[in-house]
Amino acid sequence: MIRKLSILCLTLLMAAPLSAADYDIDTKGQHAFVQFRIQHLGFSWLYGRFDDFNGSFSFDESDPAKNAVSVTINTASINSNHAERDKHLRSEDFLHVDKFPEATFVSTNIQPNADGTTATISGDLTMKGVTQQITLEAEVIGQGQDPWGGYRAGFIAITTLALKDFNIDFNLGPVSTHVEMTLSIEGVRK
């Protein structure tokens, strides 16, 4: 889910030097992150991430209707820095990774904003056997030539998901019904 959101952010290449380009999310170089946070009892935030995901995006500055993003996340790669909690998060109470080993995001619409550096990305997030349309608010961080002769673009995208929308109804308390997702990604032009 977070992977898809990350890819959506990449489509915000509003100032790309080429009229059309395809990018792979740079997960091998550890320059992309799918992170989350959720309140713990109203006293603090619990942070985590997904360690294994991949994706790609397309950007056409002259024809935004061609912009697209796709992300796939290995749900078993959830990491909240606590082995027992992660085991519970992988169980039927939460992600049920044995039955649903992947979460995916595919964009359906990317609407650039007038400022040229932000966009609203809509798309279908499939997690735990449920597909819901979600919206991400994305921002271009930067783009340009890298030291190795490639071209890169970086984005951040943020969304909030209601756990119940994805059949996650384990009672975490009244302040823990939603999870905030942040996708910080860097893409390498193909």
Note the pLDDT of residue 122: 96
Note the pLDDT of residue 115: 86
- Beta-bridge mates of residue 155: 140, 185
pLDDT mean values, one per 10 residues, the chain (190 residues): 43 43 89 95 95 88 78 97 98 98 96 87 97 95 90 92 96 94 92
Token pair recorded at residue 73 = 């996340």
Residue type, 183: L
Note the pLDDT of residue 18: 45
Note the pLDDT of residue 62: 66
Assess if CATH 2.40.128.110 describes domain 2-189: yes
Q: pTM, whole model, 2 decimals?
A: 0.85
**Rounded to 5 degrees, what angle do the CA atoms 24, 27, 92 make?**
110
Please provide the size of the chain in residues: 190
Give the per-residue SS3 of 19-70: CCEEEEECCCCCCCEEEEEEEECCCEEEEEEECCEEEEEEECCCCHHHCEEE
Token pair recorded at residue 30 = 């550890």
